[in-house]
Structure 1
């Protein structure tokens, strides 16, 4: 084994001994012995599928699960019930387990094996390591304890690791990568096959360290000392410093399932903007949040009767959400408006007036089939630094909070996809400084202000939005209209996704271990380790 692998912490080296001859079903199906292919041929699959950036898996991971529970979107079709907390375990498998174990883990192990065998591939390995740790953290955030050391590595019955163990390993792995990528600045690395940074080592180091800050904040309630240890270290080193550092994936609309996944699935009319989003766009400030006009599209109606318009009266509460050419006999003509739908509508409620796709806002002009797919943004880092300041780790909370809002706006308004809308916008419609001036006071409500704006900024990343809501309780969300789960959720909100049917059937001894998840077992009522409130 090459010297560069010695930078990993000792316990981490021990847990990755491979069993290369066993088969596996579902997450363990197909041979998993590392294949000798150059890292450049494996890294694209690792980066795309490790970030769930292929549209069929994105649908099942995000628009049928996490983005509904983050309340970015709400379901607008009566043939999907996940918005009412009825679980389809096949979607959990296809949306989360397979990207984690079939792609991210296997591609990571292929790259690792190649780098161990051949000289000069240290940078290739450590970039893959960053993505592997990111993928692992995202998966455990959704499902809790999971196979981390053995999953996807040929074990017939992979053991489950605690989320606490996984987070400690992820943080250590990212730290090792940050340091190691500084050791070989002149060594070859990836080129265009790196669809995030094109092999730019400094940007990969910034991403690794920014992820350390993300996960340090994530654990700061459940283990304050662990959070402080890693958070203060991250703050002392390179972090994202502008939107130029954003980690995003170059999509390819000319390749099968490689266009921007949200753009691809949005036109199936299965979801629309949530009412919660609509409310935060209009109620956080004395002016409408200008990001609304880029995040979502307006609804166009040739005519609204007086009765129909009564359904939309609340849209005018905070100003210009409804425009129309003229009014006659109480009817409005050539109407344009922005509207969201309530989460968790029953199958009978979905087709009703005001609830169907034609009556609510779809994704907006910032998205196109070739838009870059965001993995982590500078705006998020600003909000992480703001919370770090509240925790006493250093820095100014309000300054970072305001910088995060501006960074979010600068990014979305600077996209080429946004420009046609911006050029046609009405005077004052896109005034972010007016929006900031009208925000509720920061002092006295710091956490709520920070988390609400972070939630708005990381849209449409439902995995992060839902994780941060569970951790902090912000932004304050609306309870779903109808919960059909039959499970006592306490506060009425789902806590995690359940394990897959294949795991429950084939790996039952581990998946059904009552000691999992701090002795809670499995279920949508079960809180993950870092969710202590």
Structure 2
């Protein structure tokens, strides 16, 4: 009589991983936000669409908000810098804590390991955007709001990934056909080996992120991933993405581009320059043609009160199929490009930089439905360079020279820095539209070279040539955690603005 018929009991939750499974799905659905019955496409827009997607050079905002005086021109709108933080701390972290508590009670360390991998995937995006975050002491009573320096957050990421991989590797070896949380896992359907490969590749990604801040640690963590018995992602089938077979959804960029006020984001000028200059076969996969049958982007930071009719007719939009276009956390191509950079630096990546570079291009082509033979032709092109940008939006004064002269084909006689630009440029093209990763890699390496903002409304706090380096802490932290956020600002080494660099941003 005292049992609530609408609520699961402890006994029920202990059956078939119910106690952990629902929280695991919650974590996965809050790494990249999408319309799922709780989150909306607009949540994606304010969590990354109006920050990292724009600053990565993938996307240009074409909404009419505030006459163009907004994040796109470096004037931060406070509600637009909030969701990146809260998606992590209101959804990912509490769900992980619940899983850890339940899994510890049930003696299931392998379930905690899976959840920890997802936690690191979600939370590295948060620290990469803001810098210091209240991560290391999360869940420890009154200390949960204290901020950790970013270098300490990254150290904990590596400790957590090492531990998770060390738990899952012997589990997979001893239980080769076993799955974990299969009914709840939206990425791999519970395939433990796939999760180990993803975790190793994630560790490699984060290792490369800190290469200019702590080269020794970066190399050590990267080489661990290659040495693991299951290694890193090498197959397109192992790339990490939300499976349409597991949950019905569409990529949020569809609504943003096609139903939000007739289009609030479009192809960027930087994508225009690189993809048109290279005559890139992925162009029709990524974007739609403008009314003249060509592909056109638009500069970031154009000040305007209206885009009609320019947006619909003269600027390319996103080519999105609402039933098949996936949300991707990590491509197979990225894995190869990470190894290419590691090998270029002299690390033991299990092969040569040139081979990994060409494999990265090939993987990207296959991932986008193109042929490996097309990839080989593209990779051998030693003449094409990025193009100059000619504005097609109906505004004058936005034309600009090509951002770079980097060619596609690998050259063993080129200096390391030239080949690094080559690797990062092709990685950037391959990971589109993953804005958080594209923006982080641009800040880390300076590549690809992107067009500067047309109008900089930061009042001098952001250098136009260096571009935006982080987003400020959200207002909710100043309202609800004043002491904590003050400590975070103190750890920045600069003001809480978009011109201050995060710890790993050393170039």
TM-score normalized with structure 2 length: 0.82
- Equivalent of residue 199 in structure 2, options 198, 204, 208: 208
- Equivalent of residue 438 in structure 1, options 369, 381, 386: 381
- Select between 479-488 and 55-64 the one with higher mean Cα deviation: 55-64
1:383-532 equivalences in 2 (<5 Å): 383-394=337-348, 395-413=351-369, 431-439=374-382, 440=407, 441-443=409-411, 444=414, 445-490=418-463, 491-513=465-487, 516-532=490-506
Q: Secondary structure at the match of 1:337?
A: coil
Q: Is residue 337–residue 423 contact of structure 2 (8 Å, CA) maintained in 1?
A: yes
Counterpart in 2 of 1:107? 95
Q: Distance in 1 between matches of 2:359 and 2:246?
A: 33
- 2:188 pairs with 1:197: yes
Counterpart in 1 of 2:317? 362
User: C-alpha offsets along residues 51-70 of structure 1, whole Å, 9 cap, x if unaligned?
Assistant: 33442321112221111001
Deviation at 1:272, TM superposition (A): 0.5
Deviation at 1:137, TM superposition (A): 0.9
Counterpart in 2 of 1:59? 45
- Select between 446-455 and 391-400 the one with higher mean Cα deviation: 391-400
Q: Secondary structure at the match of 1:510?
A: helix
User: C-alpha offsets along residues 263-305 of structure 1, whole Å, 9 cap, x if unaligned?
Assistant: 232212001101110100022x3xx1001110001123xxxxx
- 2:214 pairs with 1:223: yes
- 2:234 pairs with 1:241: yes
User: C-alpha offsets along residues 405-462 of structure 1, whole Å, 9 cap, x if unaligned?
Assistant: 1100100116xxxxxxx9xxxxxxx943332222424332201100000000010000
Q: Distance in 1 between matches of 2:24 and 2:458?
A: 39
Q: 1:393 to 1:69 in 2, by over 3 A?
A: same
Q: Secondary structure at the match of 1:74?
A: strand
Aligned length: 441
Q: Secondary structure at the match of 2:368?
A: helix
1:129-148 equivalences in 2 (<5 Å): 129-148=116-135
Deviation at 1:346, TM superposition (A): 0.6
Deviation at 1:515, TM superposition (A): 5.8
Q: Secondary structure at the match of 1:272?
A: strand
Q: Distance in 1 between matches of 2:253 and 2:61?
A: 14
Q: 1:75 to 1:51 in 2, by over 3 A?
A: closer
Q: 1:344 to 1:110 in 2, by over 3 A?
A: same
- 2:111 pairs with 1:124: yes
Q: 1:152 to 1:413 in 2, by over 3 A?
A: farther
Q: Distance in 2 between matches of 1:262 and 1:407?
A: 23
Q: Is residue 39–residue 111 contact of structure 1 (8 Å, CA) maintained in 2?
A: yes
Counterpart in 2 of 1:376? 330
Q: Is residue 386–residue 398 contact of structure 1 (8 Å, CA) maintained in 2?
A: yes
- 2:159 pairs with 1:159: no
Counterpart in 2 of 1:10? none
Deviation at 1:234, TM superposition (A): 1.4
Q: Distance in 2 between matches of 1:200 and 1:381?
A: 19
Q: Is residue 516–residue 522 contact of structure 1 (8 Å, CA) maintained in 2?
A: no
User: C-alpha offsets along residues 342-386 of structure 1, whole Å, 9 cap, x if unaligned?
Assistant: 1110125x5387x53431111115x43443210111100100001
Q: 1:406 to 1:76 in 2, by over 3 A?
A: same
Q: Distance in 1 between matches of 2:87 and 2:456?
A: 29
- Structure 1, gaps ≥5 residues long: 1-34, 301-334, 415-421, 423-429
Q: Is residue 131–residue 470 contact of structure 2 (8 Å, CA) maintained in 1?
A: yes
User: C-alpha offsets along residues 127-164 of structure 1, whole Å, 9 cap, x if unaligned?
Assistant: 10100111111110011001103457764871110110
Q: Distance in 2 between matches of 1:196 and 1:527?
A: 33
Counterpart in 2 of 1:266? 257
Q: Distance in 2 between matches of 1:339 and 1:382?
A: 29
Q: Distance in 2 between matches of 1:298 and 1:153?
A: 53
Counterpart in 2 of 1:38? 19
Counterpart in 2 of 1:343? 300
Counterpart in 2 of 1:88? 77
Report the RMSD for the aligned CA atoms in angstroms: 2.3
Q: Distance in 2 between matches of 1:84 and 1:167?
A: 30
Q: Is residue 250–residue 371 contact of structure 1 (8 Å, CA) maintained in 2?
A: no
Q: 1:76 to 1:469 in 2, by over 3 A?
A: same
User: C-alpha offsets along residues 501-531 of structure 1, whole Å, 9 cap, x if unaligned?
Assistant: 0112222222133763442242111100000
User: C-alpha offsets along residues 21-40 of structure 1, whole Å, 9 cap, x if unaligned?
Assistant: xxxxxxxxxxxxxx986111
- Select between 258-267 and 82-91 the one with higher mean Cα deviation: 258-267
Counterpart in 1 of 2:394? none
Q: Distance in 2 between matches of 1:153 and 1:43?
A: 21
- Structure 2, gaps ≥5 residues long: 1-12, 36-40, 383-406
Q: 1:169 to 1:265 in 2, by over 3 A?
A: same
Q: 1:467 to 1:514 in 2, by over 3 A?
A: closer
User: C-alpha offsets along residues 146-189 of structure 1, whole Å, 9 cap, x if unaligned?
Assistant: 11034577648711101100001101111111110123333662
